[in-house]
Amino acid sequence: MRPLVVVGDALLDRDVDGEVRRLAPDAPVPVVDETEVRVRPGGAGLAAALAVADGRPVTLVTALARDAAGDELHTALAEAGVEVVDLGLRGVTPEKIRITTAGRSLLRLDRGGHEVAVGPMDAAAREAIGWAAAVLVADYGRGVAAEPSVREALALAAPVVPIVWDPHPRGPAPVPGVRVATPNAGEAAAVEPEPRGDDAEAIAARAGALARRWGAGHVCVTRGARGAVLASAQGDVVAVPAEPVTGGDPCGAGDRFASRLASALADGLAPREAAAEAVRAATRFVAAGGAMAARLGPPSDDPVDRLLAGVRERGGTVVATGGCFDLLHPGHIRTLEAARALGDCLVVCLNSDASVRRLKGPGRPVVRQEDRAAVVRALRCVDAVVIFDEDTPEALLDRLRPDVWAKGGDYTVADLPEAQVVARWGGRVELLPFLEGRSSTRLLQEAAARGI
């Protein structure tokens, strides 16, 4: 398969998650006790990593600095499965630091990357663009898309390679001949303010004018929750609505839209079909928690990962629950059925034998983990079972990232260490009704009392 080539400015995104329990003594601001720091590619790097996660080989033509943050970014791109052609960046690696608590943003701090110099195209970069199935220019206004040799190579490729150009207010106009340019509504209005208004008709007229101004085949103006409007230079217009989303996180939605649009063009779809596919992908991306919740890297061969990917591809809700499930009883069944009713698939996180022994004592479990998993998996309401070895399933939840974490009503949200983990990607905790008098411990006690 020929690769998708992403050209643009790669940034380092650093997500700092923490707990807020007090205000600072010297100012009325919250004090964040840091609990976790996660690093991921940002900017054009995020667009490239998302395309890899779609199952396509991706080459990123970018410029990386030789500093500590640049080393972190290079490692993050490699871990995401992105092949990098580095033009070299003289300056400081740009960073976006997002500070969050319980899945909500408190502050974004931008660092570095304002005064940089990008190296010229080399043979590897030219070869990558010439061999691409499609090219996405993810311009973040920091120099790669403005470098003269880069623009020359893109202009030469435009007649034969589908190019998607995602512009930036600080960046240059697209080169003539791009297949689709994708400004958002604000960016389009800044370049082409007439006609005024933000209704679909005004945006369509603006998009057509931009297509003629830029010499682009089409301009697709993205409108966030309202979808997109695609217009050609000849005046053909298609409005692409978006499905409504409750909650979610829009961070990175533009990169998700542009990368899926470019992938769809690489697969041979027409611009209007590709735009519809891109809107659907961006909507699902926002609903699933945006960039902070995105699963980067090549698609997994694990059957559970494939199950979850299929549910999310259809816009469904992933539910997870957990427990030991030693001596399955009606209370377990009631809880599992109630959990499954909350969404479109149910994954059970099952404590391993070692985990159960630490939690319940040396005499437990009565049933070994493989047999417990087989019994739970056989239930009609259960779609998958995953065994974990820790005392709590926090690490497993970070891998699965369910939309809903369901537990029996004998807990409270404050009792669950998993609650803050799930909140990081916008998930929620649901407490389910508890069937009194039903427990594995009581069954064992009754059996012992009867001498069984």
Provide the CATH number for the domain around residue 150. 3.40.1190.20
Give 439's pLDDT tier (boundaries 50, 70, 90). low
Give 435's pLDDT tier (boundaries 50, 70, 90). low
Last residue of one domain, picked from the residues 271, 293, 315: 293
Q: Is the pLDDT of residue 94 over 80?
A: yes
CATH of the domain at 354: 3.40.50.620
Cα gap 47→165, rounded to integer Å: 12
Give the mean pLDDT of 174-179. 98
Q: Are residues 110 and 86 in the same domain?
A: yes
> Which residues sit opposite 166 in a β-bridge?
138
Q: Are residues 335 and 201 in the same domain?
A: no
Instruction: Tell me whether residue 396 is in a domain.
Output: yes
Cα gap 400→384, rounded to integer Å: 11
Give the per-residue pLDDT at 209: 96
Give 105's pLDDT tier (boundaries 50, 70, 90). confident
Catalytic residues: 255
Q: Are residues 177 and 322 in the same domain?
A: no
Q: Are residues 134 and 267 in the same domain?
A: yes
Asked if residue 348 lies in contact with residue 385, where contact means CB atoms within 8 angstroms, the answer is yes
Q: Are residues 235 and 106 in the same domain?
A: yes
Nearest to 39 by CA among 51, 53, 49: 49
CB atoms within 10 A of CB 313: 11
Instruction: Tell me whether residue 298 is in a domain.
Output: no
Cα gap 306→299, rounded to integer Å: 8
Cα gap 130→136, rounded to integer Å: 13
Q: Are residues 65 and 193 in the same domain?
A: yes
Last residue of one domain, picked from the residues 245, 262, 293: 293
- pLDDT tens, position by position, 5-55: 999 999 999 999 898 989 999 989 999 999 889 999 999 999 999 999 988
Which amino acid does the sequence have at 246?
A: T
Give the per-residue pLDDT at 313: 78
Helix pair angle (123-131, 148-157), 10° resolution: 30
Asked if residue 203 lies in contact with residue 184, where contact means CB atoms within 8 angstroms, the answer is no
Domain of 412 in residue numbering reads as 303-449
Three-state DSSP class for 348? Answer: strand
Which amino acid does the sequence have at 188?
A: A
Q: Are residues 339 and 247 in the same domain?
A: no
Q: Are residues 409 and 272 in the same domain?
A: no
Q: Is the pLDDT of residue 443 over 60?
A: no
Give 405's pLDDT tier (boundaries 50, 70, 90). very high
Q: Are residues 101 and 211 in the same domain?
A: yes
The pLDDT > 70 percentage for the chain reads 94
Give the per-residue pLDDT at 410: 65
Q: Is the pLDDT of residue 147 over 60?
A: yes
- pLDDT tens, position by position, 252-275: 999 999 999 999 999 999 999 999
Give the mean pLDDT of 66-92. 95
Torsion of CA 32, 38, 43, 47, to 10 degrees: -140
Instruction: Tell me whether residue 25 is in a domain.
Output: yes
**Strand locations in 197-307 (E):** 218-222, 228-232, 237-240
Give the per-residue pLDDT at 420: 81
Last residue of one domain, picked from the residues 293, 318, 351: 293
Poorest-confidence range of 13-17, 76-80, 143-147, 363-367?
Answer: 363-367
Q: Are residues 275 and 357 in the same domain?
A: no
Asked if residue 222 lies in contact with residue 214, where contact means CB atoms within 8 angstroms, the answer is no
Give the per-residue pLDDT at 128: 94
Instruction: Tell me whether residue 375 is in a domain.
Output: yes
Q: Which residue has the higher pLDDT, 438 or 346?
A: 346
Burial (CB count within 10 angstroms: exposed 0-12, middle 13-18, buried 19+), residue 409: middle
Nearest to 426 by CA among 172, 248, 276, 233: 248
Instruction: Tell me whether residue 254 is in a domain.
Output: yes
Q: Is the pLDDT of residue 373 over 70?
A: yes
Instruction: Tell me whether residue 207 is in a domain.
Output: yes
Give the mean pLDDT of 90-107. 89
The pLDDT > 90 percentage for the chain reads 69
Phi/psi zone of residue 139: left (φ > 0), alpha (ψ -120 to 50 degrees), beta?
beta
Give 115's pLDDT tier (boundaries 50, 70, 90). low
Nearest to 9 by CA among 128, 96, 81, 109: 96
Give the per-residue pLDDT at 390: 93
Cα gap 353→371, rounded to integer Å: 11
Give the per-residue pLDDT at 279: 96
Three-state DSSP class for 416? Answer: coil
Q: Is the pLDDT of residue 292 over 60?
A: yes
Burial (CB count within 10 angstroms: exposed 0-12, middle 13-18, buried 19+), residue 380: exposed
Count of residues in the chain: 452
Q: Is the pLDDT of residue 125 over 80?
A: yes
Q: Are residues 378 and 245 in the same domain?
A: no
Q: Is the pLDDT of residue 336 over 60?
A: yes
Give the per-residue pLDDT at 345: 97
Nearest to 350 by CA among 331, 327, 369: 369
Q: Are residues 11 and 133 in the same domain?
A: yes
Query: Looking up tokens 């779809």, which residue turns up?
Result: 269
Q: How many domains does the structure of the chain reveal?
A: 2
Mean of per-residue pLDDT scores for the chain: 90
Q: Is the pLDDT of residue 440 over 80?
A: no
Give 301's pLDDT tier (boundaries 50, 70, 90). confident
Give 434's pLDDT tier (boundaries 50, 70, 90). low
Q: Is the pLDDT of residue 445 over 60?
A: no
User: What is the C-alpha end-to-end distance of the chain, expressed in Å?
Assistant: 63
Query: Looking up tokens 């690490």, which residue turns up?
Result: 395
